[in-house]
Amino acid sequence: MTVPLTHRYEFVYLFDVTKGNPNGDPDAGNLPRLDPETNQGLVTDVALKRKIRNFVTLDREGAPGYAIYMQEKAILNNQHRLAYEALKIKPEDKKLPRDEAKAREITAWMCANFFDVRAFGAVMTTGVNAGQVRGPVQLSFATSIEPVLPLEISITRMAVTTEKEAETQSGDNRTMGRKHILPYGLYRAHGFISAKLSERTGFSDDDLQLLWQALINMFEHDRSAARGEMAARKLIVFEHESAMGNAPAHKLFDAVKVERANAEERSARCFADYAISVDTGAIPAGVRVEERL
């Protein structure tokens, strides 16, 4: 692995969905998540991180240092035990070793071997204690640019599950169901990457390049009937000259405008209905802007 980052970064990430559900809410019958006051769509930071993790698993499968801590169906205490076994340290019940050097070594092992611990951080203080890490990479919720319209679509499956169902239907053997979609939605999320926190976890420039790849390509490996067509549309990166940063993040985000190409036209139904611009004149000295997508 290379040395930790020496520059701070922020980024604006735009993605869209067509005839799909980008992030269902289990507390609302799996309806697309909404802001109840504005009807703007929401996608959680957790959902975006899940897709990044899945991309890294596919791209770096089996590569040392790129295991995923928060795997689907994982038992986290078993992940913690891997550090103790590798370092030949006997675990204590719910406590790190009293020897501070050994305690730091366990947490450092988790950072070195799990990409998502190194990137996003983790609270690993359960039954088998591996410490706590604050990650350098953080994401906001994604919010749709305009209000979205959830639709409930009836669907038919030309089969039943049991013989009893078949008998009830006298051989018709059909099952009715429903799925929730948005006709279209363009979403915007913000990201933050701290160079100073990367020093603590070992998040490197190689990891950063992998993160950019994941953001650009993660929807290409996450297709499903429920999610419709999802695509990464824009990745605008702000790179600071220093590790501490040269400008407040919100000022950089304000320089990125997403507007309707023609506000008088119909409801937006594709990415071409929007115009994205970056006010380079509003970018302070010491910050470089790069469009990676």
Annotate 141-163 with b (16+ C-beta within 10 A) or e (fewer).
Answer: bbbbbbebebeeeeeeeeebeee
HSE-CB of 106 using CA atoms within 13 angstroms: 27
Distance CA 167, CA 125 (A): 53
Distance CA 293, CA 274 (A): 16
Is the pLDDT at 256 greater than 60? The verdict is yes
Model confidence at 116, in pLDDT bands (50, 70, 90)?
Answer: very high
Q: Which helix (H) or strand (E) holds 249?
A: helix 249-254
DSSP track, 103-114: HHHHHHHHHHHB
Q: Give the model confidence (pLDDT) of 132-167 as tens digits.
A: 999 999 999 999 999 999 998 888 777 777 778 777
- As given in the structure block, the two tokens for residue 15 are 């993605």
Distance CA 29, CA 8 (A): 40
Instruction: Pick the range with the lowest mean pLDDT from 89-98, 206-215, 277-286.
Output: 89-98
Contacts of 103 (CB under 8 A, 6+ apart): 96, 97, 131
Is the pLDDT at 188 greater than 60? The verdict is yes
Residue with tokens 């099952």: 175
The pLDDT score that the predictor gives to residue 162 is 79
Against a cut of 0.85, is the pTM above it? yes
The pLDDT score that the predictor gives to residue 96 is 87
> Domain extents for the chain?
9-150+179-291
Q: Where are the alpha helices (DSSP H) in 72-181?
A: 76-87, 100-113, 115-120, 163-168
Is the pLDDT at 266 greater than 90? The verdict is no
Let me know: does 274 contact 186? Beta carbons within 8 Å: yes
Distance CA 290, CA 293 (A): 9
Model confidence at 273, in pLDDT bands (50, 70, 90)?
Answer: very high
Model confidence at 2, in pLDDT bands (50, 70, 90)?
Answer: low
